A and B are shown apart, each in its own frame.
Chain A
């Protein structure tokens, strides 16, 4: 009989003791209710992707299984419906990431103008490889596909901020700034969506 190879789960397994009470802040909760109202009644599942973004912003930059279960309960859908979506889209992190998630574009137009050198520089400076997090939990490096910034290549994204026309000096400064950060890089906050 051949050996059975156990696939590593895409999800991080967490221990019971690590489970915190999961609850959105009142503002985030209220925002979810507003997002749900953007879709016809009975189609609240359409609010799933925005809600997961919000969850990631609220809970340390990644989606744990309990967080996804919480989102499922908010939208009154099955947990599996949340897992299958969370695992499909590249902006959802299913494992913890550093306070600062650096996403460097590696596609053609950026590659033509030096993206590989940007990546190499960050790898050397932080002593991590693509996809890894520094041991102090401050930085994660991730290479990504074209971010629609090809004319200002090379570029990288941290949270919702684009950093374009990069030079190694600019990269250096960004890393210095973010090494002091106390909060996670975020794609959105409570001001992103309008109030009505």
Chain B
């Protein structure tokens, strides 16, 4: 069994509630932080831990925290990113639903480290039932003196609020999230200035993912070195992976960074192998935005070594033969899966979610969906496949926010690795009829 940090107590009956959470040692990090540590000392521990942002980009958390501007007399904010809308990702939901106090505890400890006195959890609107759960947990934390004025008699004040969105993937991008939190459309801001200098209401702000903040709890409790001892190389600690698609045991798994992809897919501890004993065809390893890889490249790197579940392991080979850890949304496809149809669901997604500010993204995602639709319905030509390639290459790098890149990469990688399937699709209309019904389903 791999070491667990975040999900260690997940099966404890009653862990959703305050009493049980407290009994297993909950809120110890708050006590340790506010009573025995300085904010700077906490930032140091987080730096030592090597923790990298779990929202997708993998930016070192300690470094991000040390960039926060601290002008005299200006409020600073910590905002937790619980927007979780990257297709294939459902780990933050799991954490908030099953062990809400872990996030609340992490928010208090992290807010203290950053000198924030008001913090927000921005949660996607569709997760309304989790708003109930978080609000209850926050109420319990207030009632027990972990939030509010003069926490544990140390003079530190903190208020924590949940803020709901209303359905928009782009609000996961940190500056769009801040716009949304200010009651506006979720249009990403041009950077710089970065949120660390000018964020929420123009004040210095740190935005961190749910899993990142929850990880701070054990880093403060056990020290940064203990956290860094887990994992491999610059991928320290553990990572939550949301596993879905054609596997026997979909769900959220906490892995120690560095286990092999093969082990993750086939061992009973994790995904338990491919559904119905079928063969593996392809994997999207880090949420819809990362390149798709065919079975041979996800199990082994181009050099023939076993591929590892870590930032470096998954990106080994760059975009030619590798992918990215991203948000840890691990989507598995069996041999019957039609890659063209799957790509269509992504193309439609990015078109739907583009905020429309930049023309390469707004127009490019629209055209990619249109062309995919045309191919899908049997009217595509070989030139359309080239056109798709052309369009995606012109979006990447030419937009305000990374959604443009995220829309381009799935298309590029699908064509790179599965070009023959696109050609088959446009040349052989008969095969289309068949594949349109190819849903692998357990439906009654």
- Residue ranges of A at the interface with B (Cβ–Cβ < 8 Å): 38, 40, 43, 45-50, 52-53, 75, 77, 81, 84-85, 88-92, 106-109, 111-118, 144-154, 157, 160-162, 166-169, 187-188, 191-194, 196
Contacts and interface: CB of A to CB of B under 8 A. Distances in A.
A109 B443 contact: no
B439 A196 contact: no
Contact of A116 (B89, B126, B251, B439): B439
Most chain B CB within 10 A, of A106, A146, A157, A160, is at A146
Contact of B129 (A47, A50, A162): A162
Interface of B: 75, 84-90, 92-93, 118, 124-129, 131-132, 135-136, 138-139, 142, 161-169, 180-186, 201, 242-246, 250-252, 284, 288, 329, 331, 333, 337, 341-342, 345-346, 348-349, 352-353, 439-444
Nearest to A166: B443
A77 B139 CA distance: 30
A90 B171 CA distance: 12
29 contacts: A40-B201, A49-B165, A81-B183, A84-B184, A84-B185, A89-B186, A90-B168, A91-B126, A91-B167, A92-B166, A108-B87, A108-B245, A108-B288, A108-B345, A109-B88, A109-B245, A111-B341, A112-B439, A113-B440, A114-B441, A145-B353, A148-B92, A149-B93, A150-B87, A150-B250, A151-B252, A167-B443, A167-B444, A192-B135
B414 to A, nearest CB: 12
B141 to A, nearest CB: 11
A116 B441 CA distance: 10
Contacts of A81: 183-184
3 closest A-B pairs by beta carbon, nearest first, are A114-B441, A90-B167, A89-B166
Contact of A113 (B89, B341, B342, B442): B442
A21 to B, nearest CB: 26
Most chain A CB within 10 A, of B185, B333, B440, is at B185
A32 B353 CA distance: 29
A162 B124 CA distance: 14
A112 B87 contact: no
B87 A88 contact: no
B182 A91 contact: no
Nearest to A113: B441
Given A46-B183, A85-B183, A148-B89, A160 B331 contact: no
Contact of B181 (A46, A53, A88): A46
A148 B136 contact: no
Given A91-B125, A145-B169, A160-B129, 11 more contacts: A40-B118, A50-B163, A84-B185, A89-B168, A108-B245, A114-B441, A145-B352, A146-B87, A146-B288, A150-B89, A193-B135
Contacts of B131: 188, 192-193
B443 A150 contact: no
B443 A114 contact: yes
Nearest to A111: B345
Contacts of A77: 183
A191 B180 CA distance: 23
Nearest to A152: B250
Contact of A146 (B136, B341, B349): B349
A108 B440 contact: no
Nearest to B148: A196
Q: Interface SS of chain B: helix, strand, loop or mixed? A: mixed
A112 B201 contact: no
B246 A112 contact: yes
Given A52-B166, A88-B186, A147 B441 contact: no
Contacts of B243: 151
A191 B139 CA distance: 13
Given A160-B128, A168-B444, A187-B125, A43 B439 contact: no
A148 B352 CA distance: 17
A92 B126 CA distance: 11
B169 to A, nearest CB: 7
B89 A191 contact: no
A107 B182 contact: no
Contact of B185 (A85, A117, A168, A188): A85
A43 B182 CA distance: 7
Most chain B CB within 10 A, of A77, A85, A91, is at A91
A111 B348 CA distance: 13
A145 B87 contact: yes
A154 B441 CA distance: 9
B199 to A, nearest CB: 13
A157 B124 CA distance: 14
A114 B439 contact: yes
Given A45-B182, A150-B329, A188-B128, A117 B439 contact: yes
Given A89-B165, A148-B124, A107 B87 contact: yes
B345 A151 contact: no
B345 A106 contact: yes
Contacts of B342: 108, 111-112
B87 to A, nearest CB: 4
Nearest to A88: B185
Most chain B CB within 10 A, of A148, A152, A161, A166, is at A148
Nearest to A106: B345
A116 B131 CA distance: 29
Given A45-B182, A112-B439, A169 B345 contact: no
A1 to B, nearest CB: 27
Contacts of B162: 193
B439 A150 contact: no
B191 to A, nearest CB: 21
Most chain B CB within 10 A, of A46, A47, A52, A109, is at A109
